[in-house]
Amino acid sequence: MTKIAVGQTAPDFRLKALDGKDYLLSALLERGPVVAAFFKISCPVCQFTFPFLERIHKRYAGDGVTILGISQDNPRDTKEFCQEFGVTFPVVTDEKDYPVSHAYGLTHVPTIFLVDTGGKVKVSCMGFGKKDLETIAAQLAERRKMARAPLFKPDEVIPANKPG
């Protein structure tokens, strides 16, 4: 469980990205919804999940939709993770006592939130949840007024969930 559940307001935060740019949640939300994905580089479920988040990013980011990785590791190691797992969406670091992770009440990673433009959490999932990622993709497709594309390929064997 997290402290922040569906229907609650997501705590605002400002974190530095790998490229040195600051990301402020409230500023991102002025442009559109945000998928905030907390992770640790050593987490096998995070390693499994992030390529699917990259698919969501490639299909639905833009027009104000932001996919944002939030790493609990240092920038150097996080950059290596992003290169290894093909992550091209923005990634910020929440190191040094994890203030943002604590504000969200995280107990496990990955933990993923879909936050709407009003700051309300629309989806909250811990670990890998196939249905949760499909729900996020569907809501972003609706927001972008796009046809929904399958997130998972027919030949992929994907479990319904994997605990983090």
Per-residue pLDDT tens over the stretch 70-96? 999 999 999 999 999 999 999 999 988
Q: How many CA atoms lie within 13 A of 57 on its CB side?
A: 19
Domains of the chain, by residue range, sit at 23-144
Regarding the domain delimited by 23-144, which CATH topology (the fold level of the hierarchy) does it fall under? Glutaredoxin (3.40.30)
Cβ pair 79, 100 in contact under 8 A? no
Q: Give the position of tokens 């944002």.
A: 68
Cβ pair 11, 103 in contact under 8 A? yes
Q: Look over the chain and give the mean of its residue pLDDT values, rounded to a whole number.
A: 94
Single pTM value for the model: 0.95
Per-residue pLDDT tens digits for 13-40: 999 999 899 999 999 999 999 999 999 9
Nearest-angstrom CA–CA distance, 40 and 110: 7
